[in-house]
Amino acid sequence: MERKKLFTKVAGLLHGGDYNPEQWLDRPDILRKDIEYMKEAGINTVTLGVFSWAVHEPTEGNISFDWLAEIIDNLYENGIYTVLATPTGARPAWLDEKYPSAMRCDDMGVRNRHGVRHNHCMQSPEFREKVRIMDSKLAERFAGHPGLLMWHISNELGGYCYCDTCRKKFQEWLADRYDHDIEKLNKAWWTTFWSHKFNSFDQIDPPYKNGENCVLGLNLDWKRFSTWSATDFMRFEIDTLRSAGATEPTTTNFMEMFYDYDYHYMKDFIDVISWDNYPEMHNNWQTDAEHLLERSFNHALFRSLKKDQPFMMMESAPGLVNWRPYNKYRRPGMHKLISMQAIATGSDTVQYFQIRKSRGSSEQWHGAVIDHIGTNDTRVFKEVKKLGADLATISEVAGTLSDNKVAIIFDWDNRWAIDDAWCLSNETKNFDKTCMNIYNEFMSLGIEPDIISSDMDWSDYKIICAPMLYVLHDGVGEKIADFVRNGGQFMSTYFTGYVNKDLLANLGGFPGDGLSEVFGLRSEEIDTLYPEDVNKISIIDKAGKPSYSVAVHDYQELLRDVTADVLARYEGDYVAGKPAITRNNYGDGHAYYVACRTNQKDIEFLYREMLEHAGIAYTKLPEGVEKHTRLSDDNSYDFYLNCTTDETVVPKVTGTNLLTGDNVTGSLSLNGYEVAVIKR
Ligand code: GLA
Ligand code: ZN
């Protein structure tokens, strides 16, 4: 496994974050202190200019970057590199006043008033022209600066605009998608239903709240279009920077479990994947370890967008955030655990929002490396500084990659379609959670899955799980068949293969598109249970006898025409005696079908069996411990994270703990929240 450094300018891992010196230009003493403290904390990178438009261009056309140039130079002279943002995440008042089309319209088509942020119309020609001027001038001034690492496009792109320009663009986008043939669209959207037929593309509206919002194909295409529109805006900014001479890599900060846009589409148009990680630690509904596993899942999702290079944790909070229902401080040791988890999962950076707290306005109480007290002896500062030293100690992991053999399929349009489908229970569909539960089960066996799309290349994987793959993209049925035929282990669940990419039901039995043959069964009914309903399945042992019972929750499918081996049968209800979990020998591989929802821990035998079939060695980890592996050509780095406050011992660990220098032979003791990086 090759080492793929993201940045040649910085030797090891990046440590730093969003820095807003423009708020302190009248306080040179503070700006000086900031640099002093950053150096002390081992900070080597800052992100500048994220919301600086009003400082760059206080009145229209009056653009000056002198203040920024001075800051970038100064940082560079002090060994701190810059990630430079285009300032399009928020707009100055003069811009909205003069060009109202820059302001987004809501889902009733009503134009927003000026204010807040992340709320521009991605298609407004007037706004784009202002962006073009701003971004070109930024690139002309700073491209090639020795202190410049990369470009940060806008900030946390998100949301939908329902203005007339976007409406028109949507119609054009649909015309392209359906070959300018309205009958193709009518067919795909099944518009004869409820007399929803369209005569021409210009009759079609976005799914306004007070308009047409129950044609499911329209709803889905609107989300696909909005992904396209945001990507188009992002590409416009990138192209503008490039035409003005920028050659540095680009990124934009993605968000956790983000729902608005399909990141599998966006990923191809950006050089580096980065995301903003804001855990809600020490909460009262899950353990730290459970919450951290959700973080890991997100890291895995972002890592897997571009597997051949590290990703960046672009933001995280030193201490606390200020926008959760309860803004609790991270307890001592948690800062390191959260930060090291990012590195463990494949990030080459630990970056924060923010270096220094803003003195006023809505984020004045958000965590920062430097607090209002202004000293370098706060608990948070000291933890950040310690982390800076730890990152330097393990700097050799920069550029290393993972080589996971297990993957989980997580398609955005499948998420959207499941949520929008009028069936099951909106209380319990829980697609995201279902994927996470499968991830967690592998993690408990010391195996980390990648999180991929059904359209990506699967050739690296030996085991693929596709829970609730309700929407089958074109060709995916055949792709699954090939994967299994060639020796893969493929696990699927209830609610798989029901519709095609247009959301039209697959005829002839589920799972459709040839998958009934791969799984050796058809599903005739999917039954939704109330939370109080009780059913069980009994797991059948190798001798064909029922061995133990497992509770069923939420969903149970009635299978028919089962030719696959039956691994579990329903115990009760009207499905009693019918197959509930099956395994089909297909070609050289196995296709598993889990027809009902259970706790994954209760069906761990299935995971063990798949891993054994795939020849992947695994070790059950102690409760609350995560293991992640990064590889270079010559070494492997196993990260062990104790996500609990209790001491624990991990079996079968050998190597050198880079963080302590200890040689570990046989078993690894970890204190509460301790992290070990074991080099082999
Ligand atoms: C987001 C934004 C930042 C900041 C943080 C606060 O991630 O990108 O500008 O508002 O949230 O947590
Ligand atoms: Zn718009």
Digit-coded pLDDT (tens) for 629-676: 999 999 999 999 999 999 999 999 999 999 999 999 999 999 999 999
Cα 354 to ligand 1 centre (Å): 9
Place of tokens 């310690």: 386
Query: Which pLDDT does position 11 carry in this prediction?
Result: 87
Atom 5 of ligand 1 has which residue's CA nearest to it?
Answer: 353
Q: Which of 83, 86, 353 to mutate to test the pocket of ligand 1 (most atoms within 8 A of CB)?
A: 353
Asked if pLDDT for residue 204 goes beyond 80, the answer is yes
Ligand 1 closest atom vs CA 51: 9
* Interatomic CA distance for residues 217 and 471, integer angstroms: 12
**2: exposed, middle or buried (C-beta count within 10 Å: 0-12, 13-18, 19+)?**
exposed
Structural domains in the chain, CATH included, are 14-163+227-397 (3.20.20.80), 406-614 (3.40.50.880), 625-679 (2.60.40.1180)
Ligand 1 closest atom vs CA 255: 7
- The ligand whose atoms approach the alpha carbon of 118 most closely is 1
Q: Which residues surround ligand 2, an ion (CB under 5 A)?
A: 121, 161, 163, 165-166
| pLDDT tens-digit map of 373-406 | 999 999 999 999 999 999 999 999 999 999 999 9
| pLDDT tens-digit map of 435-488 | 999 999 999 999 999 999 999 999 999 999 999 999 999 999 999 999 999 999
Cα 122 to ligand 2 centre (Å): 6
* Interatomic CA distance for residues 548 and 604, integer angstroms: 13
Cα 125 to ligand 2 centre (Å): 10
- Residues 519-541 as b/e (b if ≥16 CB within 10 A, e otherwise) read bbbbbeebbebeeeeebbbbbbe
| pLDDT tens-digit map of 508-538 | 999 999 999 999 999 999 999 999 999 999 9
Q: Which of 47, 116, 363, 365 to mutate to test the pocket of ligand 1 (most atoms within 8 A of CB)?
A: 363
Spatial CA neighbour of 207 closest among 219, 189, 190 = 219
Asked if pLDDT for residue 7 goes beyond 90, the answer is no
At 360, is the pLDDT very low, low, confident or very high (cuts 50, 70, 90)?
A: very high
Query: Which pLDDT does position 5 carry in this prediction?
Result: 76
Q: Of all residues in the chain, what percent carry a pLDDT higher than 90?
A: 99
Catalytic residues: 156, 315
Averaged over 541-567, what is the pLDDT?
Answer: 97
- The ligand whose atoms approach the alpha carbon of 166 most closely is 2
Cα 282 to ligand 2 centre (Å): 40
Atom 7 of ligand 1 has which residue's CA nearest to it?
Answer: 276
Query: Which pLDDT does position 131 carry in this prediction?
Result: 98
Asked if pLDDT for residue 2 goes beyond 70, the answer is no
Cα 120 to ligand 2 centre (Å): 8
Secondary element (H or E) of residue 177: helix 164-177
Asked if pLDDT for residue 1 goes beyond 80, the answer is no
253 touches 444 (CB < 8 A): no
Secondary element (H or E) of residue 233: helix 216-243
Query: Which pLDDT does position 4 carry in this prediction?
Result: 72
| pLDDT tens-digit map of 35-66 | 999 999 999 999 999 999 999 999 999 999 99
Averaged over 1-13, what is the pLDDT?
Answer: 81
Ligand 1 closest atom vs CA 315: 7
- The ligand whose atoms approach the alpha carbon of 128 most closely is 2
Please, what is the average pLDDT of the chain? 97
At 318, is the pLDDT very low, low, confident or very high (cuts 50, 70, 90)?
A: very high
Whether the predicted model's global pTM rises above the 0.85 cut: yes
Ligand 1 closest atom vs CA 156: 8
